Amino acid sequence: MTEEEIIQMAPGLMQALAPEETEDTGGRPRRRKQDDPMMGLRKWVPKTRLGQMVMAGKILTYEQALATGLPIREVEIVDALIPNLEDDVIKVNMVQRMTDSGRRVRFNVMACVGNRDGYVGLGMAKAKEVAAAIRKAIIAAKLNLISVQRGNGSWESSAGPGTSIPFKTHGRSASTRVTLMPAAKGKGLVIGETGKRVLDLAGVSDVLSRTKGQTRTTINYAGATFNALQNMNTTRVSNEVKERLFINKGRILE
């Protein structure tokens, strides 16, 4: 490839196709991670129209992919446009079912992914083995990626961009209800441990919260927190309010 062709590529593809740095391991071959996204991008053959546009260099950011209105059905698209996504396994449940042939054991996994800068996804999957269930849950979370609105909506904060949310939002999952409220800079994440893991990957560092229902149910707690972030995107906000609350959706592009 020429230098011009390499420049017109998604950041994840540039990392995948970059020459690897060899390390001296004493003559012993270094084991690779079996589910390395970079390895998947090197072997990726796009099957959808959006994937072909990303591979051709016509789409270079996740924001441009969302603007096309085309569905994201290949996980490699997310890995190419937002590389180095961090993942966190929220919950692993063992599900047993009695059949004629005996007891059938399966695993139910919830995983969360995010770039700690305005994008977060939550997904669930089932499989016969834990490793396969985790892999499928991470893929489901990447395909369920949403942009997060962040801003300075607390009356305690001074003027300027904030690290909280712009206004109060509600989320629900089964019997669990979560209300997120803006907080001043430095307040921290005043929420349960499960909600902290979701908001931390979303890039929100200051928030107040109020919960109701069975918050000990980890899956519902994480789902309600994610649903609250989703509901912020459905609220119509005028340009004047956006400027006053310093609302930014998705990544903070410099």
According to CATH, what is the number of the domain 149-249? 3.30.230.10
* Cβ partners under 8 Å of residue 224, min gap 6: 171, 172, 173, 176, 177, 178, 211
pTM: 0.85
73: left (phi over 0), alpha (psi -120 to 50) or beta: alpha
Report the pLDDT value the prediction gives residue 128, as an integer from 0 to 100: 92
Report the pLDDT value the prediction gives residue 125, as an integer from 0 to 100: 95
Encode the chain (254 residues) as per-residue pLDDT tens digits.
444 444 578 888 888 877 665 444 455 544 445 568 888 888 899 999 999 999 998 999 898 998 898 999 999 999 999 988 999 999 999 988 888 878 888 999 999 999 998 899 999 999 999 999 999 999 999 999 999 999 888 877 766 677 889 999 999 999 999 999 999 888 899 999 999 999 999 999 999 999 999 889 999 999 999 999 999 988 888 888 888 888 888 776 54
Report the pLDDT value the prediction gives residue 33, as an integer from 0 to 100: 53
Report the pLDDT value the prediction gives residue 32, as an integer from 0 to 100: 46
| Signed CA dihedral, 71, 77, 171, 91: sign only | positive
Give the three-class secondary structure for 94.
strand
Report the pLDDT value the prediction gives residue 212, as an integer from 0 to 100: 93
Q: How many CB atoms lie within 10 A of CB 27?
A: 5
Distance (Å, rounded) from C-alpha 249 to C-alpha 83? Answer: 19
Report the pLDDT value the prediction gives residue 34, as an integer from 0 to 100: 53
- Which sequence spans correspond to the domains of the chain? 3-81, 86-146, 149-249
CATH fold of 86-146: Double Stranded RNA Binding Domain (3.30.160)
Distance (Å, rounded) from C-alpha 40 to C-alpha 92? Answer: 25
Contact 164, 188 (CB under 8 A): no
Report the pLDDT value the prediction gives residue 198, as an integer from 0 to 100: 95
Contact 186, 211 (CB under 8 A): no
Q: How many CB atoms lie within 10 A of CB 212?
A: 12
